[in-house]
DNA sequence: GCATCCTTTATGTATAGACATAATGATCTA
DNA sequence: TAGATCATTATGTCTATACATAAAGGATGC
């Protein structure tokens, strides 16, 4: 028996990584082209192509037409960051999820959102997410009414804007930034943290088809951790 | 003329996203299979496959053999997070990069690293990265000597461990976690921040071929931001 | 020396066809 | 009825081939 397994793109991928680790191919140096490597490894060019393409997406290789493929010299590693729904995030820890709407009004877009939207009204929301009845995250949110007209008639008293938006305006473009900040007294109170505690702040702006949808500022207690496994 | 462009995988991708936004396909619902969609859009199955595969990797679709493809019901969006070298990060802002080694010793692996390595010695490093002569990041690092024997004879007085490791042990597996913490007096001093200032802390553990390589704890002033664009 | 054009090359993508594989759902059996 | 078995189905992958396209590098002309 001992059926010899075909060399698949995963094998090619591993072989490439191996050769980099063993320093057969070193950072900055051009490696063989797809056709030659395919011949050497005994597979089709498409197979090598897929392996190389994925490694390039991850920042391991740098590819340029005609110039060839080389091991990234100043590697910018790329890791996938998972952005789950708050509810799912909480429930993944076997905790009971709960939601409270704190504030809800409709007003003109504030000045600091002008960077994202030109004009118009917004729904301004403030809410609290809880895990096992303990504060988990404070969410400050602005929803563009020109972008999401349906938000005007929604009260958000039971469903969090997070979840409502996912159903109403799914799969938008997202820009996320993270920072560490000192909690304001209000935030510290809501999160049941001491005054001036450090908070982990996530800011998320989203668009759909180029139209601005929403901006959210999420405050976590300082112990919040997020993991990206490469 | 008006040569009709072929429908490529990007077109298919866009068309799928469009149909989701227009709610032709809604979260949780099964969409047509690759063969049918290819026929409808006038392209090969492989083309549809690539589009769907990428969308699944990004968390937009959920695919299962035989069960088919559906729009993700509880979407876990995935964004790419770029992890550049500190030097590159600083120089990208047109600032002058500088590096200072603060501490350097060889000792037995501390207890809190037992989670990553079983035993053996480590190189313990503490260093400061500067942008335009202003403190930019404090790096605390432990390098496993069993994993990286060459680290024993390196002084790290000129080259940061960050850069040295990239050349010495390229393309390892990485696990990253982020958190917001209160600066210790020492860290605050090094970063020229007030006492108990919030700091953005990145912790990175890396392996190569299953062997533990290094653990790093990076402290940024609270204003540090990192962006992930979807 | 310098700009322009052209050739060559490596990657980028599309295609049809084939087979592999996971998982469903129906069918059979104790 | 519960459990084992099996055909079916949709995705997963590989192949060979073809053509598109970016870009390096040489050739050409001034």
- Please tell me the predicted confidence (pLDDT) of residue A77: 80
> Is the model more confident about B118 or about B32?
B32
- Helix segments in B62-196, DSSP class H: 86-91, 161-168, 185-190
My answer on whether B45 and B98 are in the same domain is no
The answer to whether the CB of B174 falls within 8 A of the CB of B204 is yes
Shared domain check, A171 and A106: yes
Domain that holds residue B162: 86-221
Give residue B92's pLDDT: 86
pLDDT on residue B226: 66
Of the residues B23, B38, B71, the one at which a domain ends? B71
Model pLDDT, residue A69: 97
Q: Check whether residue A39 and residue A141 sit in a common domain.
A: no
CB contacts of B168 in chain A (<8 Å) are none
Number of domains in chain B: 2
| Average pLDDT value for residue range B84-103 | 92
In chain A, which residue's Cα lies nearest the Cα of B221?
Answer: A180
- Give the chain B residue whose CA is nearest to the CA of A54: B54
Extended strands (E) in B38-133: 61-64, 68-71, 77-83, 97-108, 121-131
Residues B102 and B58 in one domain: no
To which H or E segment does residue A89 belong? helix A86-91
pLDDT score at A61: 96
Exposure string over B166-195, b if 16+ CB within 10 A, otherwise e:
beebbbbebbbebbbbbbeeebbebbebee
B60: closest CA of chain A, how far (Å): 7
B188 contacts in A (CB within 8 Å)?
Answer: none
pLDDT at site A139? 97
Q: What is the CATH number of the domain that holds A159?
A: 3.40.1410.10
- Overall average pLDDT of the B31-42 stretch: 97
Mean pLDDT for the stretch of residues B86-93:
90
> Is A102 part of the contact surface with chain B (CB cutoff 8 Å)?
no
What is the DSSP secondary-structure string of A1-69? --PPPP--HHHHHHHHHHHHHTTSS-TTPEEPPHHHHHHHHTS-HHHHHHHHHHHHHTTSEEEETTTEE
Using left for φ > 0, alpha for ψ between -120 and 50, and beta otherwise, residue A71 falls in beta
Instruction: Provide, in whole angstroms, the distance separating residue B67's CA from nucleotide D4's C1'.
Output: 22
A230 found inside a domain: no
Phi/psi of residue A39, nearest 5 degrees: -60, -45
Within-domain flag for B205: yes
Do A143 and A182 fall within a single domain?
yes
CB B155 within 8 A of CB B123: no
Any idea what the CATH number is for the domain that residue B61 is in? 1.10.10.10
The last residue of a domain, from among B26, B45, B71 = B71
Region B192-198 average pLDDT: 93
Residue of A nearest to B57 (CA): A80
**What's the pLDDT score for residue A171?**
75
Quick one: B40 and B118 in the same domain?
Answer: no
- Indicate whether A146 and A202 sit together in one domain: yes
Helices A34-41, A9-21: inter-axial angle, 10-degree rounding = 100
- Residue A99 pLDDT more than 70? yes
pLDDT of residue B228: 64
B63 within a domain of the structure (yes/no): yes
For residue A221, what is the enclosing H or E element? Answer: strand A211-221
- Range 52-71, chain B: CB under 7 Å to any strand C atom: 64-67
Asked whether residue B77, judged by its CB, lies under 7 Å from any atom of the DNA or RNA strand D, the reply is no
- Spatial CA neighbour of B73 closest among B83, B59, B90: B59
Tell whether B46 lies on the interface with A, counting CB pairs under 8 A. Answer: no
Whether A16 and A96 map to the same domain: the answer is no
Note whether residue B151 is domain-resident. Answer: yes
Of B44, B71, B98, the last residue of a domain is B71
ipTM above 0.85, yes or no: yes
Give the integer Cα–Cα distance in Å for B93 and B97: 10
In the structure encoding, which two tokens stand for residue A23, read together? 């320093």
Residue A77 belongs to a domain: no
In a domain, A228, yes or no: no
Indicate the pLDDT class of residue B230, thresholds 50, 70 and 90. Answer: low
The separation, in Å, between residue B126 CA and nucleotide C18 C1' comes to 57
Q: Are residues B123 and B20 in the same domain?
A: no
Q: Is residue B4 part of a domain?
A: no
A131/A210 same-domain check: yes
**CB contact (8 A) between residue B21 and residue A208:** yes
pLDDT more than 90, % of chain A: 70
B32 CA → C27 C1’, Å? 27
Helices (H), B42-184: 45-57, 86-91, 161-168
The yes-or-no verdict on residue A223 having pLDDT over 80 is no
* A63 and A116, same domain (yes or no): no
Q: What's the gap between Cα A69 and its chain centre?
A: 28
* In a domain? residue A120: yes
B185/B167 Cα distance (integer angstroms)? 33
The predicted structure's pLDDT at residue B229 = 62
User: Would you call A203 helix, strand, or coil by DSSP?
Assistant: strand
Statement: residue B2 has pLDDT above 60: no
- State which residues between 166 and 195 of chain B bring their CB within 7 Å of strand C: none
Distance separating alpha carbons of residues A201 and A184, to the nearest angstrom: 12
Residue nearest to nucleotide C21 (CA to C1'): B65
**Looking at the structure, do residues A97 and A211 belong to the same domain, yes or no?**
yes
Q: Which of the four pLDDT bands, split at 50, 70 and 90, describes residue B217?
A: very high
- Taking the CA of residue B28 and the C1' sugar atom of nucleotide C24, their distance in angstroms comes to 18
């Amino acid at each position: 028996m001992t059926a010899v397994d075909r060399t698949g793109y995963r094998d090619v991928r591993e072989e490439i990584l191996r050769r980099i680790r063993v320093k057969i191919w070193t950072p900055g140096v051009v490696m063989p082209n797809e056709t030659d490597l395919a011949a050497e490894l005994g597979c089709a060019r498409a197979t090598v192509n897929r392996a190389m393409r994925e490694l390039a997406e991850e920042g391991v290789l740098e590819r340029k037409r005609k110039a060839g493929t080389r091991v990234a010299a100043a590697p910018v590693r790329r890791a996938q960051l998972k952005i789950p729904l708050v509810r799912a995030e909480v429930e993944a820890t076997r905790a009971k999820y709960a939601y409270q709407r704190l504030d809800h009004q409709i007003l003109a877009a504030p000045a600091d959102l002008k960077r994202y939207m030109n004009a118009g009204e917004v729904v301004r929301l403030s809410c609290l997410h809880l895990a096992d009845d303990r504060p988990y995250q404070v969410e400050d949110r602005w929803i563009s009414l020109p972008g999401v007209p349906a938000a005007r008639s929604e009260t958000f008293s039971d469903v969090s804007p997070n979840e409502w938006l996912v159903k109403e305006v799914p799969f938008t473009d997202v820009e996320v930034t993270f920072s560490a900040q000192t909690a304001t007294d209000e935030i510290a109170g809501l999160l049941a943290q001491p005054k001036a505690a450090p908070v982990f702040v996530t800011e998320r702006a989203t668009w759909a088809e180029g139209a601005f949808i929403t901006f959210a500022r999420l405050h976590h207690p300082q112990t919040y951790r997020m993991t990206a496994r490469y």
